[in-house]
Amino acid sequence: MDKLKALRAASSGSAGLRAVLEPRMLAAAACCGVAIFLLTVLALHVAQPGHDPRAQFMSELALGPWGEWMILAFAGLGLAAAATGLSIHARAASRVLPRLPGILLALAAILFLAAGFVTLAVSAQAHIVFIAGAFIACGVAMYLLPRVVAVFAGPGGYVFSWGSGLVMCGAVALGDRLIPPGVSQRIAACALLFWLLYVARKLARRPAQGSGVSGKRSPAP
Phi, psi of 179 (to 5 degrees): -120, 135
pLDDT tens digits for range 148-196: 888 898 999 999 999 999 999 999 999 878 899 999 999 999 999 999 9
The 10 Å Cβ neighbour count of residue 55 is 12
* DSSP secondary structure string for all residues of 186-208: HHHHHHHHHHHHHHHHHHHHS-S
Q: How far apart are the first and last CA of the chain?
A: 50
Give CA–CA dist 105/98, Å, rounded.
Answer: 13
Give CA–CA dist 17/151, Å, rounded.
Answer: 23
Helix (H, G, I), strand (E, B) or coil at 209: coil
Q: Are 103 and 90 in contact (CB under 8 A)?
A: no
Give the single-character DSSP code of 220.
Answer: P
- Specify the pLDDT at position 2: 55
With 0-12 / 13-18 / 19 or more C-beta atoms within 10 angstroms meaning exposed / middle / buried, residue 47 is middle
pLDDT tens digits for range 112-150: 999 999 999 999 999 999 999 999 999 999 999 999 888
pLDDT tens digits for range 16-61: 445 556 778 999 999 999 999 999 999 999 999 999 999 999 999 9
Give CA–CA dist 50/62, Å, rounded.
Answer: 13
